[in-house]
Amino acid sequence: MILETIKKANSVAQESETILVKAAIEGNADSFTELASRYYPAMVAIAHSITGDRDLAEDAAQSCFAKAAVKLPQLKSHEKFAGWLATICRNAAKDIYKRENGRCKTSDLSKIEIKSEENDTREAVKDALTKLPDSDREVIYLRFYDGLSYEQISAVLGISEQAINGRLRRAKKKMAQILRREGFKQV
Partner 1 sequence: MSEKNNDKWFEEIISKTINSGKPLFDAEKFKQKFPDEFRELQSRANKPAKNFQGTFILKNPVIKFAAAAIIILAVSLFMIRSGKDEKVDIPKVTNVTQSPAEMLTLRSLKTAYYKGGIEAVEAQCDKSIEQLKQKTNKITTNELLADINGT
Site string for partner 1, 22-41 (x = CB under 8 A): --xxxxxx--xx--xx--xx
81 binds partner 1 (CB under 8 A): no
Kindly state whether residue 129 participates in binding partner 1, applying the rule CB under 8 A. Answer: yes
Give the residue with the Cβ less far from partner 1, 67 or 94. 67
Q: What is the dihedral of CA 34, 36, 37, 41, to 10 degrees?
A: 160
The span of 56-64, 89-97, 98-106, 158-166 binding partner 1 (CB under 8 A) equals 56-64
Residue 67 binds to partner 1 (criterion: CB under 8 A):
yes
Q: Does 126 bind partner 1 (CB under 8 A)?
A: yes
CA 103-107-109 angle, to 5 degrees, is 80
163 binds partner 1 (CB under 8 A): no
Q: What are phi and psi of 9, to 5 degrees?
A: -60, -40
Q: Would you tell me how many other CB atoms lie within 10 Å of the CB of residue 82?
A: 21
**DSSP secondary structure, 54-85, as one string:** HHHHHHHHHHHHHHHHHHGGG---GGGHHHHH
Distance CA 157, CA 99 (A): 25
* Choices 10-18, 78-86, 158-166, 172-180 (CB under 8 A): range interacting with partner 1: 172-180
d(CA 177, CA 148): 25
The full DSSP string for 106-168 is: HHHHTT-----HHHHHHHHHHHHHHTS-HHHHHHHHHHHHS---HHHHHHHHTS-HHHHHHHH
Size of the site for partner 1 (CB under 8 A): 42
122 binds partner 1 (CB under 8 A): yes
From the list 19-27, 84-92, 97-105, 158-166, the region that binds partner 1 by CB under 8 A is 19-27
Instruction: Enumerate binding residues for partner 1 (CB under 8 A).
Output: 24-29, 32-33, 36-37, 40-41, 44, 48, 54, 57-58, 61-62, 65-67, 69-70, 72-73, 121-122, 125-126, 129, 140-141, 144-147, 172, 175-176, 186-187
